[in-house]
A = this chain, B = another copy of it.
Amino acid sequence: MAKSTPLPGKNVRGSASGRPIMALLDLLGRRWTLRILWELSAGAQTFRDLQTACDGASPSVINTRLKELREARLVIHSAGEGYQLTSQASELVEKFLTLNDWLDSWARSLK
């Protein structure tokens, strides 16, 4: 059975509760998903640019992740611009990945 896109209200891998947080944790816990959101937070990218930015990850995975992110309305594709975050995703990435201070302190603590 093919893995389906985790969305609020649906059963997701590891939880049958339908709670949005579980869908989000499942979605973001797939390989390359966080990285893609991160790379797109810098601005719109074409499929190939995105692939390059992701250190040459397979097109098959990139494409699967983009499909999931589009179903989850976190990414949209527009002909001229390429792939970009929805405003909703921008908010998420802002909350989630504005971690500069935290990252510095994490890195220091591990030296």
Are B55 and A14 in touch, CB under 8 angstroms?
A: yes
Q: Does A35 contact B (CB under 8 A)?
A: yes
Are A31 and B29 CB-contacts (below 8 A) given A21-B103, A96-B95? yes
- By a CB distance below 8 angstroms, the chain B residues around A29 are 28-35
- B residues near A106, Cβ cutoff 8 Å: 8, 20, 24, 72-73, 88, 92
Contacts of A109 in B (CB 8 A): 73, 88
Contact partners of A111 in chain B: CB under 8 A? 9
Q: Is the interface of A mostly helix, strand, loop or mixed?
A: helix
Closest to A7 in B: B110
B95, A98: Cβ atoms closer than 8 Å: yes
The answer to whether A107 touches B30 (Cβ under 8 A) is: no
- Across-interface contacts of A14 in B (CB, < 8 A): 32, 35, 54-55, 57
The residues in A between 71 and 99 inclusive whose CB is less than 8 angstroms from any CB of B are 72-73, 88, 91-92, 95-99
Chain B residues with Cβ below 8 Å from A30 are: 29, 31
The 6 closest A-B pairs by CB, nearest first: A8-B107, A20-B103, A20-B107, A25-B34, A29-B34, A14-B55
